[in-house]
Structure 1
Amino acid sequence: MNVIPQHDGSLLVKNPQNYCLYDMGNPHLFVRFDGEGNLVHAFFAEGFYGGAWSFRLIVDGRPFQFREGHGIGRLWKLWGEEEGLEVRLDSFIGDSSPFVFQNLVLSSRSHQKLVKIRIVIRFSLPVLWHQRAQSALVRWIPAILRQPHWWSEGWAKLLLPPAPRHVTLHPGGAVQAKGIRPLQWVTDVPPHAMSVRGKEANIEWQFRLSPGETRRLRWALAAGLGEDPITRVEKAYDEAIRYAAWLSQGYPGGDPLLKSLFVAGLNTAMAMFKIFPEGFAGLVAGPDYAYPPRLYFRDGYWTAQILLAFRPDLVRQHLLSIARGVHESGECPSGVFAPYLLKFKEAMFGGLPDWLPKHLDAPAFFVLLVRDYLRATEDWEVLKEPISSLHDGVERSLWTIIWSAVRYLIAQDSDEDGLIEKPNAPNDWADNVRRGIWVTYDQALYIAALRAASEIAQARGEVVIASALKTKAAAAHRALKSVLWNSSSGYYVNYRRPGYLEDHFSIDTLIVLLYGLAEEEDARRVLDAARRLQTRYNPDQPYGDWGTMCVYPLYRNQKDIFGKSAHPYCYHNGADWPYWDGIYGWLLLQREDPDWEYVLTRWWTYSLDKGWLTPVEYYSPPYPRGGLLQGWSSMPATALIWAKHLTPRISFSHF
C-alpha cells in the first residue's frame, strides 16, 4: 500500500487494504470506512452506535480487489478494474444529515460477468454485555469516572445504549433495527436474498453484467424511521463534493504534502462540531472521546484555533455551551456532558455535568478561547449572552462566568507568591502523570489567562480590573522565571515540588513561548534544547527517525506516572502528539528555523505510511496508536494558516 498526497489536498491510496482507515464526520455522526469498502463503525452524536457492515464483491467466482482509494473531507472513493470490469464504490456523508451512503457502479467493457454482492450489517457493538454485567458496571461508574486512563483506552463506549431489541426485514431491501434509537438501512435495488440472524442482517445481489452494460446500486443507513434516506443521496453527494472543494481552497500553498496536512486538519476540526438535543452544541475531542457525549475545555481550545479563521460561528456555539459547565466558583472539569444525557443516565452519572472534575488548565483555556474569539470576530455582544448553569440553573452573563474562572485561578495561589499550586494529581492535559506542585505548563497558562482577562476588561472600560489583573500577571511571570527556569540547561523544567525536580525537557513548556512569556534570547535557548525531542537528532532513543517526542529524557519518578504513561515512549512519557508538533512547528516558523518542516510533517508522513488517513491523537513505534480524526491534532494545519500572516520577508518555497 502506498499513500500519495495530491495537489488538491486529497489522498490517493494505491492498493488499499483493510487496515487503511478513513474517518469522517458531520454535526450528527462519526463514521469510518476501510480500504475494502467496509463500514467499520457509525456513531451518532447523541451517543448511539449505528452499526457496521462488511462489503464483499465476487466476480466470476473470485473476490474483487480495489486498486485505488481516494479520500478528502466527507468522501472516500474506491476504484478498481479487472479483466474488463470497472468498479467504483463511493462512501460519503452530507453536510448535516444523520445518513451514511454508499454508491456502487459496475461497468463491463468486454465479457459477460457473473456478479455477486454481499453485505452483512451488524447492529451490535463488538463487545456484548449481559444485563447483570451492565448493572455491575453502572454501580462502579463513580469510581471509573476518576480513572481517565481507562477512558483513553476506549472503555467509554461501554456506556453506549444497548443494541436494538430486534432487527426486521421489509419489502424492497429495507432493514429496520428498533430500540432506544431506531435505525434503518435501505437500498434502491431490491436484493436477490435477505435474511436476519439475531442483530445481523445479510443482504445479497446476484446478476449477470453484459458487455457494455453499467449497473448502479445505492444503499444508506439512517437514524430514525421517517424519511427514506435514498431520496437524499444525490444531495448528500453534491454536498460532499462542494465541501471537498471548500477544504482545498482554504490553503494557498502548492506543496501536496502540506496541502494534504492542511485539508486533513481543517476537515478534522469541522468534524468535531456536534449538535445535541436541547440546543447544546460544540466541539468534541474525537470519535474515541465522544461517548458519552461531552465537550472539552482543553481539546476544544486547540481545535477551535483553525475554526476561528474559517467558521468562528461554530466556536461561538461551543463557547456558549461549554460555559454552562463552569461552576459558580469558576472551577472547571476537563469536559462537560451534553445535558440531555444527565436525564437519560441520571443513575449512572448522578446528574452531574462534570467529566473529570477540577482540571487546572480548563479555566485558563476557557478564558483564552473567549479572548481569541473576540480578537477574531470583535463580537463583543457575546459577553452579554445569558447562560444557564448546568449546576444550579442560574443565568449569568458570559463575562460573569469568565470573571469566576479568573478568580478561581487566582485562588490557586494560596500563599500569594505568584505561583499557583497544582495538586500532585493527574488533572491537566497529562492525565496519566501526577505533576505538582509548581508546573511550568499550568503556570504559563495562568499568566496567559490573566493577561487575556485584563485585555477583555480593558476593552469593556473596566480599567481598575484590567490594571489589577495585569499586576497579578506580572508577579506570576516573575515567579515563573525565578522558580521554573533552569538557566544552566536553557529551558523551563517540567515541574517541581519540595524535595523533587522533574528537570527533563517537556514539549508542553513551549506554552511559555507561544504566549510570549520569554525573552527572545531565552526562547532561542529553549528551542535549541527542544531539538533533542526530534528523533532524527536523538540517537539515544531506540526507534530511529519517527517523529517528535513529547518529553526527553523520560520521566524519572515511577510513582508519578501510571496507566499508559508508565511505559517508556508511550503516551505522555515520550510519544509524538501532533497537536504539540503544531505549536512547536509554529514557533520554528516564526523564527525561520528550517526544522519547522520536520516537526510539522513527520507525524503526518509516518501516519500515511501506516494507513492512518486522518490526524492521529498520539503514537510511538512500539505501542498501539491513539484515536484517529482527533480534534486537537488539527494544530499543525493551524500553524500553516498562522504562517500566512507572517511578515513578507519570510518566504518558503512551499508557500
Structure 2
Amino acid sequence: MTTSPTKQTALTPLPDGQVRSEQAVLLPFMAPRLQGDCRPEGKLELSLWGAGKLATLSFSGWTGPFIYAPNRVETANGGGLHVAQSVPALFLKGAKLRSITPSRRCAWWGGMMPRQPIERSGERRTVRTAWGIVVAEQRTDGVLVVAGATQEEAEKALAIDPAAVIDEARVYVERCDAMPEAQPLMRSMISQGIHAALSSIRRDEHGAFAGLAAGQAYSAPARTYYRDGYWTLQALLDREPAAVRGQIDLLARSIQPDGEAPSGVILTGPAQAEEWEKVRRSHPKIKLEHLRPGDWWSDHFDSPLFFILTIGDYIRATGDNAPVSLYWDKIVTIFERYCRFDVAGNGLPVKPRHDRDWADNVYRHGYVAYDLGLWIGALDVITEYGIDAAVAEKAAAVAVKARASLDEALLQPNGIYADYGTKDDFVEDHLTLDSLTLLRFRAVSPERAKIVLAKVQETLESRNNQTQPYGDWGVLCAYPPFKRTKDTREKSSFAYRYHNGSDWPYLTGLYAEQRLAYGLDCFDYPLLRWWQTCLEEGWMGAVEYFSPPWGRGSLLQGWSSMPAAAALAYRDRVLAANR
C-alpha cells in the first residue's frame, strides 16, 4: 500500500493506534451525554447533549509529550483526561482545579442569563445554569468533573469513582481499535473513525436513545440529521443496530403528511427547546427556514430518500422488517411525492432550484446526480421490502425507467455524469464525488462505474490533478469549480472551499468504498490522505472538511467515519494491502 509523502507532522500515529504529539493540541471529546473541548495546557469547555454549554474550567494542565486516543489524552508523567461512558463524568488525572465559570448562554444564539454564584463546599465547586449543572471536585490525584441536566443526574454521576472513569475510558479506546492488525496510519484512522461514529450515539438524562449527533459542533440546538446520520450509521449497523433502529424512529417523527422532511430533527431538552423556540419565532429568516418547532431547516430534497435508505440498510443488516411495516404509509407517501417530481415521465425526479440537499450552499436544480442516486436506491428498497405488491411493482418499473433515462439526462462526452441541470436550460458538467451515489446504489452499469471511478482518480485526487494549485493534499469534492457563480452562496462561492472543492472525508470514504466494491486498487489514497492531512495540521479527530487555502470545518464529525466503515467492510483486502 502506498501513501503520499507528507510534510513534518504535528501528530504521529503509533503502532498501538494512538497518536503522539510533543506539543499540546485541542482534543474534542464526546460521550453519550457529556461533550466538550480539552486543551491539555489547562482549559476545559463543557457541554451536555440536549442542554447546551454549561461551564469553562481552568486547571493546572500537563506537559508533553501527549498520547491521544478516543476521548482520552495521557502524558508520560501519568496525567491526562479520561471520559466516562456510563454517566456524564470525566477525570482530570494529575490536575489541580484553578477556576470554574458557568456559561451565561446555552448556545451562541441563546439569551444572556444572569450568572449564578459558585457554590463551595470543601473541595467541591458547583455551578448552576437554567439548563444544567456542573460539579468539580478536587481529589487527591486529580479533578472529578460531572454534569447533569438536573440535580439528580449530576448526583448520580458524582457517585462514580475516578478509577471507574479511567477504566471506562480504557474500555472505550479498546472498542474503537477495530483493526489492530493494521499499520499505524490505517489503525489510527480507523480508531478515530469508529470513535466518531460511536460517540455520535447520544442519550437523554434517563438513558434513552436521543439521536445520532452529526458531530460535536452540531448540538445547539441538539439535532439529528437524515443525511449525516445515514453515512454515520454505516459504521454502526453491525455494532449498534439498536441505535440505528432508534434513529429510524426519531426520523419518522418529522416526515410530513405530503412526504416532505427537514434536514434534521430537533431533540433538545426542555430548557434549550424553550430558548430555541424564542429565537425561531422572533427571527424572520430563521422562521422561514425552520417552518415547524421540531424541524431543523425544513423541506430538504434528499432527506425523505435517506429515511427509506436507512430502513433498507437496517433490514439488510439485521433481518428485522418491523420498520418497513411500521412506516409503510410514510414510505408510500415519499414514493408518491417523488413520482410527482417526475415531470418528463422518464422516472427521474426534477429538483426545484434551491439549496436544500447536502450541498446547501449551492442552488442545484433539474436532474441532480447525487439525488438521483438516492432516488434509485430508495426505489430498490421499496421493490425489495415493500409489503404492498402493487406499490413494489410500480417502484420496480420506475427504477427500470430511471436507470434507462439517466444517460440521456446527465452523461457527458468524457464519460462522467454532470452534477446537475437540464439540457434545455443549464448543465453544471463538472465532476463531483457526491455523484458516486449513482454507483453506490447501482444506478449505472459496472462498466460505466469503472469509467467514472477512473475519472475521479484522474481529476479529483489532488495528487493527479496538476491544474489545481495546492499540490497533494486530499480528494476534491468537485472540480473544476462551479461555472455559474449565481448558483453558489457563502462559503461555496469560493473555489476550493466547502462544496466547491474541499475534501469531505465522508465523500472520500464513499469514493474508497466504491473502488473496493468494484475491485479496483489504489483505494488507500482516499482512505488515508485526509487523515494524513489531519496529522500534519494537528487536528485531533475526524474532521468535517478541509482545503489548503481555507482550513478545516469542525472536529469529531460522525459521518467522517465513512473511510473507517469502508475499510472495515472490505477488511481482508485492506489488510492485504496494508503491509
TM-score, with normalisation over the residues of structure 2? 0.90
Q: Distance in 2 between matches of 1:651 and 1:97?
A: 36
Residues 402 and 639 of structure 1: CA distance in aligned 2, closer, same or farther (over 3 Å)? same
Residue of structure 2 equivalent to 1:271: 199
Residues 161 and 24 of structure 1: CA distance in aligned 2, closer, same or farther (over 3 Å)? farther
Residue of structure 2 equivalent to 1:495: 420
What is the one-letter code of the residue matched to 1:323? A
Contact 1:123-1:164 at 8 Å conserved across structures: no
Residue of structure 1 equivalent to 2:392: 466
Residue of structure 2 equivalent to 1:198: none
Residues 188 and 253 of structure 1: CA distance in aligned 2, closer, same or farther (over 3 Å)? same
Residues 422 and 52 of structure 1: CA distance in aligned 2, closer, same or farther (over 3 Å)? same
Residue of structure 1 equivalent to 2:6: none
Residue of structure 1 equivalent to 2:122: 172
Residue of structure 2 equivalent to 1:606: 533
Residues 260 and 281 of structure 1: CA distance in aligned 2, closer, same or farther (over 3 Å)? same
Where do 1:210-225 residues align within 5 Å? 216-223=141-148, 224-225=150-151
Residue 74 (structure 2) pairs with residue 77 (structure 1): yes
* Deviation sequence 1:382-427 (CA, Å, 0-9, x none): 344xxxxxxxxxxxx3222222222222222134232211111101
Q: Distance in 2 between matches of 1:443 and 1:347?
A: 37
Residues 330 and 608 of structure 1: CA distance in aligned 2, closer, same or farther (over 3 Å)? same
SS of structure 2 residue aligned to 1:480: helix
What is the one-letter code of the residue matched to 1:16? Q
SS of structure 1 residue aligned to 2:475: coil
Residue 52 (structure 2) pairs with residue 45 (structure 1): no
Q: Distance in 2 between matches of 1:70 and 1:252?
A: 17
Q: Distance in 2 between matches of 1:122 and 1:608?
A: 32
How far has the Cα of 1:95 moved from its partner?
A: 1.1
Q: Distance in 2 between matches of 1:500 and 1:383?
A: 38
Q: Distance in 2 between matches of 1:557 and 1:74?
A: 43
How far has the Cα of 1:163 moved from its partner?
A: 5.2
What is the one-letter code of the residue matched to 1:219? L
Residue of structure 2 equivalent to 1:153: none
Q: Distance in 2 between matches of 1:164 and 1:96?
A: 32
* Deviation sequence 1:57-93 (CA, Å, 0-9, x none): 6xxxxxxx622212222222133xxxxxxx3322122
How far has the Cα of 1:563 moved from its partner?
A: 0.5
Residues 259 and 651 of structure 1: CA distance in aligned 2, closer, same or farther (over 3 Å)? closer
SS of structure 1 residue aligned to 2:358: coil
Contact 1:266-1:637 at 8 Å conserved across structures: yes
How far has the Cα of 1:444 moved from its partner?
A: 1.5
Contact 1:164-1:177 at 8 Å conserved across structures: no
Residue of structure 2 equivalent to 1:440: 369
1:93 is aligned, of 76, 83, 95, to 83
Q: Distance in 2 between matches of 1:598 and 1:45?
A: 35
SS of structure 2 residue aligned to 1:556: coil
How far has the Cα of 1:654 moved from its partner?
A: 1.7
Contact 1:49-1:161 at 8 Å conserved across structures: no
Q: Distance in 2 between matches of 1:383 and 1:594?
A: 37
Contact 1:337-1:353 at 8 Å conserved across structures: yes
Q: Distance in 2 between matches of 1:567 and 1:96?
A: 44
* Deviation sequence 1:542-584 (CA, Å, 0-9, x none): 1111101011111110100111001111000011100000011
Residue of structure 2 equivalent to 1:629: 556
Residue of structure 2 equivalent to 1:29: 34
Residues 306 and 164 of structure 1: CA distance in aligned 2, closer, same or farther (over 3 Å)? farther
Contact 1:167-1:175 at 8 Å conserved across structures: no
* Deviation sequence 1:479-498 (CA, Å, 0-9, x none): 21211011x21110101133
List runs of 5+ in structure 2 lacking aligned partners: 1-8, 282-291
Q: Distance in 2 between matches of 1:415 and 1:493?
A: 18
Where do 1:227-266 residues align within 5 Å? 227=155, 229-232=157-160, 233-248=162-177, 250-251=178-179, 253-266=181-194
Contact 1:123-1:163 at 8 Å conserved across structures: no
User: What RMSD in Å do the two structures reach over aligned CA positions?
Assistant: 2.3
SS of structure 2 residue aligned to 1:441: helix
Where do 1:300-315 residues align within 5 Å? 300-315=229-244
Residue 23 (structure 2) pairs with residue 16 (structure 1): yes
How far has the Cα of 1:438 moved from its partner?
A: 1.3
Residue 108 (structure 2) pairs with residue 158 (structure 1): yes
2:407 is aligned, of 451, 468, 481, to 481
Residue of structure 1 equivalent to 2:300: 359
Residues 73 and 595 of structure 1: CA distance in aligned 2, closer, same or farther (over 3 Å)? same
Residue of structure 2 equivalent to 1:393: none
SS of structure 1 residue aligned to 2:365: coil
Residues 575 and 157 of structure 1: CA distance in aligned 2, closer, same or farther (over 3 Å)? farther
Q: Distance in 1 between matches of 2:450 and 2:350?
A: 28
Q: Distance in 2 between matches of 1:339 and 1:55?
A: 30
SS of structure 1 residue aligned to 2:56: strand
Where do 1:379-398 residues align within 5 Å? 379-384=320-325, 397-398=326-327
Stretch deviating more after TM superposition (446-455 or 160-169): 160-169
SS of structure 2 residue aligned to 1:158: coil
What is the one-letter code of the residue matched to 2:435? T
Residue of structure 1 equivalent to 2:463: 536
How far has the Cα of 1:345 moved from its partner?
A: 4.2
Q: Distance in 1 between matches of 2:134 and 2:40?
A: 24
Residue of structure 1 equivalent to 2:284: none
SS of structure 2 residue aligned to 1:310: coil
Q: Distance in 2 between matches of 1:88 and 1:12?
A: 15
Residues 402 and 281 of structure 1: CA distance in aligned 2, closer, same or farther (over 3 Å)? farther
1:373 is aligned, of 299, 314, 320, to 314
How far has the Cα of 1:505 moved from its partner?
A: 0.7
Q: Distance in 1 between matches of 2:113 and 2:522?
A: 49
* Deviation sequence 1:78-112 (CA, Å, 0-9, x none): 33xxxxxxx3322122113122321117xxxxxxx
Contact 1:367-1:406 at 8 Å conserved across structures: no
Q: Distance in 2 between matches of 1:374 and 1:238?
A: 35
SS of structure 2 residue aligned to 1:288: coil
Stretch deviating more after TM superposition (592-601 or 274-283): 274-283
SS of structure 2 residue aligned to 1:364: helix
SS of structure 1 residue aligned to 2:351: coil
2:436 is aligned, of 499, 505, 510, to 510
2:505 is aligned, of 578, 582, 606, to 578
1:122 is aligned, of 91, 101, 105, to 101
| Matched residue count | 552
Residues 466 and 162 of structure 1: CA distance in aligned 2, closer, same or farther (over 3 Å)? same
Q: Distance in 2 between matches of 1:164 and 1:301?
A: 40
SS of structure 1 residue aligned to 2:342: coil
Contact 2:109-2:279 at 8 Å conserved across structures: no
| Higher RCO, Cα 8 Å, sep 6+ | 2
Q: Looking at secondary structure, tell me which structure has more strand per residue.
A: 1
Q: Distance in 1 between matches of 2:519 and 2:393?
A: 35
* Deviation sequence 1:177-219 (CA, Å, 0-9, x none): 2231342333244xxxxxxxxxxxxxxxxxxxxxxxxx62333
Q: Distance in 2 between matches of 1:530 and 1:6?
A: 31
2:571 is aligned, of 644, 647, 655, to 644
Residues 356 and 257 of structure 1: CA distance in aligned 2, closer, same or farther (over 3 Å)? same
What is the one-letter code of the residue matched to 1:485? L
Higher radius of gyration, 1 or 2: 1
Residue of structure 2 equivalent to 1:148: none
Contact 1:277-1:340 at 8 Å conserved across structures: no
List runs of 5+ in structure 1 lacking aligned partners: 58-64, 80-86, 106-116, 129-155, 190-214, 385-396
Alignment identity in percent?
31
Residue of structure 1 equivalent to 2:577: 653
Stretch deviating more after TM superposition (636-645 or 360-369): 636-645
